[in-house]
């Protein structure tokens, strides 16, 4: 009489293979998720900078950007002195608190702020990047007087994409 079915060893091998495949897919998903979140954060920062730049040109006013490791704040620089003071207005819809990934910057003069003048020009050159080791498509922003570009950090500089 022939009995069909699986032996206990066959079931253990199959369950082991399934668990191994699940572990591999979970690690891949985690890497993809981090990469996606880094790209989302840098694109949001880029969009906010471009919005501040457009507002500066449209309103013929100066906008000040102040960077911190876990946040950035964009001000309407009412007295146009390039520094934060009580007369400046925080632009709440462009500012971000508690960023998921820390940002680092390399701005000329080692400063932590820059501004867009009434022509939409940046006052200094430099870069802003997300401090992470993930292999995201975009993880930095190049600031030039007339241009703002998304890029990829190569370890020492931001290469435009």
pLDDT over 70 at 63, yes or no: yes
| Predicted local confidence at residue 147, as pLDDT | 94
pTM score of the predicted model: 0.83
Report, as an integer, the average pLDDT of 138-161.
93
The DSSP letter of residue 18 is H
- Cβ neighbours of residue 127 under 8 Å, at least 6 residues apart? 105, 106, 107, 140, 141, 142, 143, 151, 157, 158
Instruction: Dump pLDDT digits (tens) for 2-39.
Output: 677 778 888 899 999 999 998 888 877 777 888 999 99
The domain ranges of the chain are: 8-160
| Predicted local confidence at residue 161, as pLDDT | 85
Q: What percent of the chain has pLDDT over 90?
A: 70
Which one, of 80, 47, 45, 48, lies nearest residue 63 by Cα? 80
- Please, which pLDDT band fits residue 118 given cuts at 50, 70 and 90? very high
CB atoms within 10 A of CB 100: 12
CATH superfamily to which 8-160 belongs: minor pseudopilin epsh domain (3.55.40.10)
């Amino acid at each position: 009489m022939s009995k069909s079915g699986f032996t206990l060893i066959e079931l253990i091998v199959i369950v082991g293979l399934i668990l191994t495949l699940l572990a591999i897919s979970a690690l891949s998903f985690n890497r993809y998720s981090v990469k996606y979140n880094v790209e989302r954060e840098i694109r949001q920062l880029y969009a906010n900078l471009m919005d501040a730049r457009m507002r500066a040109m449209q309103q013929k006013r100066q906008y000040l950007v102040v960077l911190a490791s876990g946040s950035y704040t964009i001000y309407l620089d009412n007295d146009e002195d390039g520094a934060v003071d009580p007369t400046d207005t925080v632009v709440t819809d462009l500012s971000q608190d508690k960023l998921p990934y820390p940002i680092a910057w390399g701005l000329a003069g080692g400063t932590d702020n820059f501004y867009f003048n009434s022509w939409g020009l940046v006052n200094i050159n430099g870069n802003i990047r997300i401090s992470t080791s993930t292999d995201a498509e975009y993880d930095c922003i190049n600031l030039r007087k007339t241009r703002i570009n998304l890029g990829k950090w190569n370890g020492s500089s931001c290469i435009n994409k």
